[in-house]
Amino acid sequence: DGGITQSPKYLFRKEGQNVTLSCEQNLNHDAMYWYRQDPGQGLRLIYYSQIVNDFQKGDIAEGYSVSREKKESFPLTVTSAQKNPTAFYLCASSLQGGYEQFFGPGTRLTVL
């Protein structure tokens, strides 16, 4: 189904490499979010963007970077500075001022 998509589904990275996770939405939502999901820790907010060309750090932004050049796209780069990048990454979007967030299927990143 459409709505919000993430790619790739699985990603493997060698230590010291940067990787970029894709997130695209066709819901015409202004706000987009990146979460990291670890067992027993729930979802933790990495970055969010409420409008094009603007984004803010979440609770665990260190070692990550984002861009928001288009309304539909909010890619996340996991840099080599992220000490423990192996995790499941979820992207979400919502209407501006809306409380319901719509989630993508996720990307599982593994550092080899």
Partner 1 sequence: AQRVTQPEKLLSVFKGAPVELKCNYSYSGSPELFWYVQYSRQRLQLLLRHISRESIKGFTADLNKGETSFHLKKPFAQEEDSAMYYCALSGNNNAGNMLTFGGGTRLMVKP
* Binding residues vs partner 1 (CB under 8 A): 31, 35, 40-45, 48, 50, 56, 58, 90, 92, 94, 96-106
Residue closer to partner 1, measured from CB, 84 or 96: 96
Q: Which of 67, 75, 63, 65 is nearest to 111 (CA)?
A: 63
CB of 13 to partner 1, least distance (A): 24
**Token digits of residue 20:** 């970029």
In angstroms, how far is the first alpha carbon of the chain from the final one?
A: 31
Provide the b/e sequence for 65-102 (b: ≥16 CB within 10 Å).
bbebeebbebbbebeeebeebebebbbbbbeeeeeebe
**Token digits of residue 56:** 């803010």
Instruction: Give the largest CA-CA distance in the chain.
Output: 40
CB of 87 to partner 1, least distance (A): 14
CB of 58 to partner 1, least distance (A): 8
Residue closer to partner 1, measured from CB, 13 or 44: 44
Residue closer to partner 1, measured from CB, 6 or 111: 6
Residue closer to partner 1, measured from CB, 82 or 101: 101
CB of 80 to partner 1, least distance (A): 27
